[in-house]
Amino acid sequence: MNTQTTHPAPHTPPSGAPPAARQFVNFAFYKLDPQWHRLPEPERTAAKKEVMDELAPFASSVITRTYSTYGFRAETDFFLWRISYRLEDFEEMSAALHRTKLGSYLTVPQSFLSQSKRSTYVDKLNPEHEGQRSKIQPGKYKYLFIYPFVKTREWYLLPMSERQKMMDEHILVGNKFPSVKLNTTYSFGLDDQDFVVAFESDYPSDFLDLVMALRETQGSRFTVRDTPIYTGVHRTLEETLNLIA
């Protein structure tokens, strides 16, 4: 069983101001080696229980939601959406998983790292959303659509007023799809992309229509990359392991 280390207190800036309560966010994707299915069933059953036991201690410090991509994404079988105030939690949790028998059959073809942060743009339609950006709270939606997002350097050189105007249009389009919840996190300096965006919804068709509508906005002209896109079906960790393993 994994023994977690004591969490250090948050760093306080030299000015004495309280630290910003930002969360680290990680989307870790896993692929199961086909050789796993050739193991005797009793071994596989015991190995799945081992994973559950090893990851259980992290429930108190890491918000974790599991999503299956099994059968509709070639390079991954499932992914974990993990949220914590401590970056090392992801490191320790990953190590615990890979120490298990099942973990030795897993590869990680993709992983995104980001952090929560208040938006630099004003949501004039829903001002209360600004305060929600610094804390990611996954909802109880069945599907999650996630991808890395990179803007052009020209976008950041535009006057703030011009960018705000295009973001107003972007926000207006988004509000036409209330069944889709957007979670935007920031990756500048932490990972290869600018942002990681995760859309939650119970209706995949609504998300499809939203993306098509956003393609027609002025801001889309400043997009460098918004792939790969992953669609996940929310399941518990136990349900996911039973499905794929």
Superfamily the domain 24-115+233-244 falls into: Apc35880; domain 1 (3.30.70.1030)
Report pTM: 0.88
- Give how far Cα 137 sits from Cα of 160, 182, 231, Å: 28, 11, 19
- Tell the burial category of 21 from Cβ atoms under 10 Å away from its Cβ (0-12, 13-18, 19+): exposed
> Domain ranges in the chain?
24-115+233-244, 131-230
At residue 197, the 3 state secondary structure works out as strand
Dist CA 181 CA 131 (whole Å) = 15
CATH number of 131-230: 3.30.70.1030
Task: Tell me the pLDDT tens digit for each residue of 77-132.
Answer: 999 999 999 999 999 999 999 999 999 999 999 999 999 999 988 887 665 555 55
Question: What's the pLDDT score for residue 122?
Answer: 83
Task: Tell me the pLDDT tens digit for each residue of 16-40.
Answer: 445 558 999 999 999 999 999 999 9
Residue of 99, 51, 112 lying closest to 238 (CA atoms): 51
Establish whether the linkage from the previous residue to 159 is cis, with ω within 30° of 0: no
